[in-house]
A = this chain, B = another copy of it.
Protein backbone atom coordinates (compact mmCIF):
# COMPACT_ATOMS: atom_id res chain seq x y z
CA UNK A 1 0.00 0.00 0.00
CA UNK A 2 1.14 3.56 -0.61
CA UNK A 3 2.08 4.73 2.85
CA UNK A 4 1.82 8.38 1.73
CA UNK A 5 -1.94 8.03 1.49
CA UNK A 6 -2.41 6.66 5.00
CA UNK A 7 -3.90 8.89 7.68
CA UNK A 8 -1.66 7.88 10.56
CA UNK A 9 -3.27 10.31 13.00
CA UNK A 10 -6.31 8.05 13.54
CA UNK A 11 -3.91 5.68 15.32
CA UNK A 12 -2.31 8.29 17.57
CA UNK A 13 -4.59 7.70 20.61
CA UNK A 14 -3.97 3.93 20.65
CA UNK A 15 -0.26 4.36 19.92
CA UNK A 16 -0.04 6.80 22.86
CA UNK A 17 -1.59 4.11 25.02
CA UNK A 18 0.98 1.59 23.76
CA UNK A 19 3.81 4.07 24.49
CA UNK A 20 2.40 4.56 27.98
CA UNK A 21 2.40 0.80 28.55
CA UNK A 22 5.99 0.56 27.30
CA UNK A 23 7.13 3.25 29.72
CA UNK A 24 5.97 1.22 32.71
CA UNK A 25 9.14 -0.88 32.44
CA UNK A 26 11.51 2.11 32.02
CA UNK A 27 14.88 1.08 33.42
CA UNK A 28 14.15 -2.66 33.61
CA UNK A 29 14.38 -4.00 30.05
CA UNK A 30 18.07 -3.59 29.19
CA UNK A 31 19.60 -4.70 26.93
CA UNK A 32 16.17 -4.90 25.33
CA UNK A 33 14.08 -1.89 24.26
CA UNK A 34 10.88 -0.64 25.85
CA UNK A 35 7.88 -2.03 23.96
CA UNK A 36 4.15 -1.66 24.51
CA UNK A 37 1.31 -3.30 22.55
CA UNK A 38 -2.46 -2.98 22.27
CA UNK A 39 -4.88 -5.31 20.47
CA UNK A 40 -8.28 -4.29 19.10
CA UNK A 41 -10.92 -6.73 17.88
CA UNK A 42 -12.44 -6.24 14.37
CA UNK A 43 -15.02 -3.79 15.82
CA UNK A 44 -12.21 -1.63 17.30
CA UNK A 45 -12.75 -2.72 20.89
CA UNK A 46 -9.72 -3.10 23.19
CA UNK A 47 -9.18 -6.82 23.85
CA UNK A 48 -5.56 -7.04 24.96
CA UNK A 49 -2.59 -5.03 26.10
CA UNK A 50 0.92 -5.76 27.28
CA UNK A 51 4.41 -4.45 27.69
CA UNK A 52 7.86 -5.97 27.77
CA UNK A 53 8.91 -6.25 31.39
CA UNK A 54 12.44 -7.66 31.30
CA UNK A 55 14.93 -9.40 29.02
CA UNK A 56 14.03 -13.11 28.80
CA UNK A 57 10.39 -12.47 29.68
CA UNK A 58 7.67 -12.43 26.98
CA UNK A 59 7.56 -9.61 24.47
CA UNK A 60 4.76 -7.07 24.61
CA UNK A 61 2.93 -8.48 21.57
CA UNK A 62 2.84 -11.98 23.10
CA UNK A 63 1.35 -10.75 26.39
CA UNK A 64 -1.29 -8.75 24.53
CA UNK A 65 -2.11 -11.70 22.23
CA UNK A 66 -2.45 -14.05 25.19
CA UNK A 67 -4.83 -11.59 26.84
CA UNK A 68 -6.89 -11.18 23.66
CA UNK A 69 -7.08 -14.93 22.85
CA UNK A 70 -9.54 -15.64 20.04
CA UNK A 71 -10.76 -12.06 20.05
CA UNK A 72 -7.54 -11.07 18.24
CA UNK A 73 -8.82 -12.81 15.11
CA UNK A 74 -9.17 -10.30 12.23
CA UNK A 75 -8.15 -7.63 14.70
CA UNK A 76 -5.47 -4.95 14.87
CA UNK A 77 -2.17 -4.91 16.71
CA UNK A 78 -0.77 -1.51 17.72
CA UNK A 79 2.84 -1.85 18.82
CA UNK A 80 5.57 0.72 19.58
CA UNK A 81 8.41 -1.27 17.95
CA UNK A 82 8.62 -3.55 14.92
CA UNK A 83 7.89 -7.16 15.99
CA UNK A 84 10.99 -9.36 15.98
CA UNK A 85 11.41 -12.09 13.35
CA UNK A 86 14.37 -13.94 14.89
CA UNK A 87 14.82 -16.44 17.68
CA UNK A 88 16.39 -14.57 20.60
CA UNK A 89 15.70 -15.50 24.20
CA UNK A 90 12.08 -15.91 23.06
CA UNK A 91 10.59 -17.13 19.72
CA UNK A 92 9.87 -14.62 16.91
CA UNK A 93 6.83 -12.43 17.51
CA UNK A 94 5.99 -12.15 13.80
CA UNK A 95 4.92 -15.81 13.71
CA UNK A 96 2.73 -15.43 16.80
CA UNK A 97 1.06 -12.36 15.27
CA UNK A 98 0.43 -14.15 11.97
CA UNK A 99 -0.91 -17.26 13.74
CA UNK A 100 -3.29 -15.21 15.86
CA UNK A 101 -5.27 -14.13 12.82
CA UNK A 102 -4.45 -10.41 13.26
CA UNK A 103 -5.12 -8.61 9.97
CA UNK A 104 -3.58 -5.20 10.57
CA UNK A 105 -0.42 -4.09 12.37
CA UNK A 106 0.31 -0.48 13.35
CA UNK A 107 3.95 0.21 14.23
CA UNK A 108 5.71 3.30 15.55
CA UNK A 109 9.35 2.49 14.96
CA UNK A 110 11.45 0.10 12.91
CA UNK A 111 13.71 -1.95 15.21
CA UNK A 112 17.31 -0.70 14.76
CA UNK A 113 18.59 -4.14 15.85
CA UNK A 114 20.38 -5.44 12.71
CA UNK A 115 18.71 -8.83 13.25
CA UNK A 116 15.33 -7.15 12.65
CA UNK A 117 15.70 -3.77 10.93
CA UNK A 118 12.65 -3.93 8.68
CA UNK A 119 12.55 -7.66 8.06
CA UNK A 120 9.87 -8.13 10.75
CA UNK A 121 7.56 -5.75 8.88
CA UNK A 122 8.45 -7.43 5.59
CA UNK A 123 7.55 -10.85 7.02
CA UNK A 124 4.15 -9.54 8.16
CA UNK A 125 3.43 -7.95 4.78
CA UNK A 126 4.46 -11.10 2.95
CA UNK A 127 2.01 -13.03 5.13
CA UNK A 128 -0.76 -10.76 3.84
CA UNK A 129 -1.18 -8.48 6.84
CA UNK A 130 -1.71 -4.75 6.36
CA UNK A 131 1.14 -2.85 8.00
CA UNK A 132 1.14 0.89 8.77
CA UNK A 133 4.50 2.08 10.07
CA UNK A 134 5.98 5.39 11.35
CA UNK A 135 2.97 6.16 13.59
CA UNK A 136 4.30 8.55 16.31
CA UNK A 137 7.77 7.54 15.23
CA UNK A 138 9.55 10.50 16.87
CA UNK A 139 7.92 9.87 20.26
CA UNK A 140 8.81 6.19 20.08
CA UNK A 141 12.41 6.99 19.10
CA UNK A 142 12.69 9.40 22.01
CA UNK A 143 11.32 6.81 24.42
CA UNK A 144 13.86 4.24 23.21
CA UNK A 145 16.73 6.70 22.66
CA UNK A 146 18.98 4.72 25.03
CA UNK A 147 18.37 1.40 23.28
CA UNK A 148 18.78 2.96 19.82
CA UNK A 149 22.00 4.68 20.85
CA UNK A 150 23.45 1.45 22.23
CA UNK A 151 22.51 -0.55 19.12
CA UNK A 152 24.01 2.09 16.81
CA UNK A 153 27.19 2.95 18.73
CA UNK A 154 27.87 -0.07 20.92
CA UNK A 155 27.83 2.18 23.99
CA UNK A 156 25.07 2.93 26.50
CA UNK A 157 23.30 6.29 26.45
CA UNK A 158 25.08 8.51 28.97
CA UNK A 159 23.40 10.95 31.34
CA UNK A 160 25.65 13.40 33.17
CA UNK A 161 24.17 14.74 36.40
CA UNK A 162 25.45 17.39 38.74
CA UNK A 163 24.01 19.50 41.53
CA UNK A 164 25.31 23.04 41.70
CA UNK A 165 24.76 26.33 43.46
CA UNK A 166 23.63 29.52 41.71
CA UNK A 167 27.29 30.43 41.29
CA UNK A 168 28.11 27.17 39.56
CA UNK A 169 29.77 25.32 42.45
CA UNK A 170 29.42 21.59 43.00
CA UNK A 171 31.23 21.65 46.36
CA UNK A 172 32.80 24.01 48.86
CA UNK A 173 36.49 24.78 48.54
CA UNK A 174 37.15 22.36 51.41
CA UNK A 175 35.56 19.58 49.35
CA UNK A 176 32.26 19.33 51.20
CA UNK A 177 29.30 18.77 48.91
CA UNK A 178 26.63 17.37 51.23
CA UNK A 179 24.11 18.68 50.58
CA UNK A 180 23.87 21.35 47.96
CA UNK A 181 20.43 20.22 46.88
CA UNK A 182 17.20 19.65 48.78
CA UNK A 183 15.73 16.33 49.84
CA UNK A 184 13.11 16.68 47.07
CA UNK A 185 15.69 16.82 44.31
CA UNK A 186 17.76 14.06 45.89
CA UNK A 187 14.63 11.89 45.78
CA UNK A 188 14.41 12.77 42.11
CA UNK A 189 18.02 11.60 41.62
CA UNK A 190 17.04 8.23 43.12
CA UNK A 191 14.33 7.93 40.46
CA UNK A 192 16.85 8.88 37.78
CA UNK A 193 19.21 6.14 39.02
CA UNK A 194 16.34 3.64 38.92
CA UNK A 195 16.00 4.37 35.18
CA UNK A 196 19.69 3.63 34.59
CA UNK A 197 21.55 0.33 34.38
CA UNK A 198 24.73 1.64 36.00
CA UNK A 199 25.91 4.65 37.98
CA UNK A 200 29.55 5.70 37.48
CA UNK A 201 31.85 7.68 39.77
CA UNK A 202 35.60 8.26 39.85
CA UNK A 203 37.92 7.24 42.65
CA UNK A 204 38.04 10.82 43.95
CA UNK A 205 34.26 10.93 44.46
CA UNK A 206 34.43 7.58 46.25
CA UNK A 207 37.21 8.77 48.57
CA UNK A 208 35.63 12.14 49.26
CA UNK A 209 31.90 11.47 49.44
CA UNK A 210 31.61 7.74 50.23
CA UNK A 211 28.35 7.66 48.21
CA UNK A 212 25.72 4.94 48.34
CA UNK A 213 24.65 5.44 44.68
CA UNK A 214 21.45 3.40 44.96
CA UNK A 215 17.89 4.22 43.98
CA UNK A 216 16.92 3.62 47.65
CA UNK A 217 14.87 0.62 46.62
CA UNK A 218 13.10 2.30 43.71
CA UNK A 219 14.25 -0.53 41.45
CA UNK A 220 15.23 -4.15 41.94
CA UNK A 221 17.94 -5.05 41.23
CA UNK A 222 19.62 -1.74 42.00
CA UNK A 223 21.73 -0.29 39.16
CA UNK A 224 25.31 -1.50 38.98
CA UNK A 225 27.64 0.85 40.86
CA UNK A 226 30.87 1.52 38.96
CA UNK A 227 34.10 3.12 40.17
CA UNK A 228 36.65 4.10 37.56
CA UNK A 229 40.06 4.52 39.19
CA UNK A 230 43.54 4.96 37.81
CA UNK A 231 45.36 4.75 41.14
CA UNK A 232 43.35 1.92 42.76
CA UNK A 233 43.79 4.03 45.86
CA UNK A 234 40.58 2.74 47.41
CA UNK A 235 39.34 3.14 50.98
CA UNK A 236 39.10 0.02 53.14
CA UNK A 237 35.63 0.92 54.28
CA UNK A 238 33.09 2.28 51.80
CA UNK A 239 29.36 2.08 51.20
CA UNK A 240 30.09 0.69 47.75
CA UNK A 241 31.74 -2.42 49.21
CA UNK A 242 28.44 -3.57 50.73
CA UNK A 243 27.24 -5.79 47.87
CA UNK A 244 24.16 -6.90 49.75
CA UNK A 245 22.71 -3.49 48.89
CA UNK A 246 23.78 -3.44 45.22
CA UNK A 247 26.48 -4.85 42.97
CA UNK A 248 29.71 -2.87 42.55
CA UNK A 249 32.30 -2.97 39.78
CA UNK A 250 35.78 -1.44 39.87
CA UNK A 251 37.27 -0.48 36.49
CA UNK A 252 41.03 0.09 36.36
CA UNK A 253 43.88 0.27 33.89
CA UNK A 254 45.05 -3.29 33.37
CA UNK A 255 48.76 -2.67 32.94
CA UNK A 256 49.48 0.08 35.39
CA UNK A 257 47.51 -1.29 38.33
CA UNK A 258 48.69 -4.89 38.56
CA UNK A 259 50.44 -4.49 41.89
CA UNK A 260 47.43 -2.91 43.51
CA UNK A 261 44.68 -5.24 42.35
CA UNK A 262 44.42 -6.75 45.82
CA UNK A 263 43.16 -3.35 46.97
CA UNK A 264 39.81 -4.22 45.39
CA UNK A 265 37.71 -5.81 48.14
CA UNK A 266 36.35 -9.35 47.83
CA UNK A 267 32.94 -9.69 46.23
CA UNK A 268 33.47 -6.69 43.94
CA UNK A 269 33.47 -7.13 40.14
CA UNK A 270 36.81 -6.29 38.52
CA UNK A 271 37.10 -4.78 35.08
CA UNK A 272 40.66 -4.34 33.83
CA UNK A 273 40.72 -2.03 30.80
CA UNK A 274 43.53 -1.61 28.30
CA UNK A 275 42.93 2.10 28.35
CA UNK A 276 41.15 3.68 31.30
CA UNK A 277 38.87 5.96 29.34
CA UNK A 278 35.13 6.63 29.46
CA UNK A 279 34.65 5.23 25.98
CA UNK A 280 36.30 1.86 26.82
CA UNK A 281 34.34 1.60 30.03
CA UNK A 282 31.03 2.22 28.26
CA UNK A 283 31.78 -0.30 25.51
CA UNK A 284 32.43 -2.87 28.21
CA UNK A 285 29.28 -1.98 30.13
CA UNK A 286 27.22 -2.39 26.95
CA UNK A 287 28.77 -5.72 25.99
CA UNK A 288 29.28 -7.41 29.35
CA UNK A 289 26.67 -5.79 31.55
CA UNK A 290 23.83 -5.24 29.07
CA UNK A 291 23.68 -1.53 29.85
CA UNK A 292 21.45 0.62 27.67
CA UNK A 293 21.70 3.72 29.86
CA UNK A 294 24.23 4.83 32.45
CA UNK A 295 24.49 7.79 34.79
CA UNK A 296 27.69 9.79 35.32
CA UNK A 297 27.76 11.12 38.90
CA UNK A 298 31.42 12.05 38.83
CA UNK A 299 33.70 15.02 39.42
CA UNK A 300 34.76 17.67 36.90
CA UNK A 301 37.76 15.83 35.41
CA UNK A 302 35.94 12.61 34.55
CA UNK A 303 32.82 14.53 33.48
CA UNK A 304 34.86 16.61 31.03
CA UNK A 305 36.55 13.50 29.65
CA UNK A 306 33.19 11.73 29.24
CA UNK A 307 31.76 14.76 27.39
CA UNK A 308 34.77 15.02 25.11
CA UNK A 309 34.57 11.32 24.23
CA UNK A 310 30.86 11.68 23.37
CA UNK A 311 29.90 9.48 26.29
CA UNK A 312 27.25 11.99 27.40
CA UNK A 313 23.98 12.32 25.48
CA UNK A 314 21.88 13.98 28.14
CA UNK A 315 22.45 16.43 30.98
CA UNK A 316 20.55 16.70 34.26
CA UNK A 317 21.47 19.70 36.35
CA UNK A 318 20.11 20.35 39.81
CA UNK A 319 20.29 24.09 40.44
CA UNK A 320 20.06 24.99 44.12
CA UNK A 321 19.23 28.55 45.20
CA UNK A 322 22.44 28.91 47.20
CA UNK A 323 25.61 30.92 46.84
CA UNK A 324 28.86 29.19 47.80
CA UNK A 325 31.67 31.15 46.18
CA UNK A 326 35.09 29.66 46.30
CA UNK A 327 37.86 27.79 44.76
CA UNK A 328 38.36 26.66 41.18
CA UNK A 329 38.27 22.89 41.30
CA UNK A 330 34.72 22.67 42.53
CA UNK A 331 32.99 23.60 39.29
CA UNK A 332 31.08 21.00 37.29
CA UNK A 333 33.47 20.59 34.36
CA UNK A 334 37.16 20.84 33.60
CA UNK A 335 38.36 21.94 30.17
CA UNK A 336 36.38 20.50 27.27
CA UNK A 337 38.35 22.32 24.59
CA UNK A 338 36.02 25.25 23.94
CA UNK A 339 38.22 28.11 22.74
CA UNK A 340 35.67 30.49 21.26
CA UNK A 341 32.08 31.26 22.18
CA UNK A 342 30.74 29.95 18.88
CA UNK A 343 32.21 26.55 19.75
CA UNK A 344 30.35 26.33 23.07
CA UNK A 345 28.15 23.31 23.45
CA UNK A 346 24.77 24.99 22.84
CA UNK A 347 21.65 23.33 24.08
CA UNK A 348 18.49 24.14 22.22
CA UNK A 349 15.71 22.61 24.20
CA UNK A 350 15.67 22.28 27.92
CA UNK A 351 13.07 21.08 30.33
CA UNK A 352 12.92 22.89 33.64
CA UNK A 353 11.05 21.68 36.70
CA UNK A 354 11.06 22.79 40.31
CA UNK A 355 11.70 20.32 43.10
CA UNK A 356 11.33 21.90 46.52
CA UNK A 357 13.33 25.11 46.24
CA UNK A 358 15.64 23.61 43.60
CA UNK A 359 15.24 23.53 39.85
CA UNK A 360 16.11 20.57 37.73
CA UNK A 361 17.13 21.14 34.14
CA UNK A 362 17.04 18.25 31.69
CA UNK A 363 18.42 18.54 28.20
CA UNK A 364 19.85 16.57 25.32
CA UNK A 365 23.40 17.22 24.12
CA UNK A 366 22.80 18.38 20.52
CA UNK A 367 25.61 16.86 18.42
CA UNK A 368 24.79 13.32 19.47
CA UNK A 369 21.12 14.16 19.63
CA UNK A 370 20.91 14.90 15.92
CA UNK A 371 23.08 11.90 15.03
CA UNK A 372 21.50 9.33 17.22
CA UNK A 373 17.90 9.95 18.19
Contact = CB atoms under 8 A, between A and B. Distances in A.
For A304, A321, A361, which residue has the most chain B Cβ atoms within 10 angstroms? Answer: A321
Contacts of A331: 167-169, 328, 331
A321 B363 contact: yes
Given A321-B348, A325-B337, A164 B172 contact: no
A177 to B, nearest CB: 8
A288 interface: no
Interface stretch (A6-14, A124-132, A248-256, A338-346): A338-346
B334 A325 contact: yes
A373 interface: no
Contact of A322 (B335, B339, B345, B357): B345
Contacts of A323: 307, 315, 333, 336, 338, 344-345, 347
Contacts of A164: 167-168
Contact of A327 (B328, B332, B340): B328
A174 interface: yes
Interface string A298-311: 00000010010000
Nearest to A164: B168
Given A166-B315, A167-B333, A346-B322, A172 B341 contact: yes
B326 A336 contact: yes
A340 B350 CA distance: 31
A119 interface: no
Contacts of A337: 325
A324 interface: yes
B321 A327 contact: no
Contacts of A357: 348
A332 B169 CA distance: 10
A279 interface: no
A178 interface: yes
Given A167-B168, A168-B331, A335-B173, A325 B340 contact: no
A58 to B, nearest CB: 42
8 contacts: A164-B167, A176-B341, A321-B346, A321-B347, A321-B350, A322-B347, A327-B335, A352-B359
Counting from the closest, the 4 A-B pairs by CB-CB distance are A168-B168, A328-B328, A325-B336, A323-B345
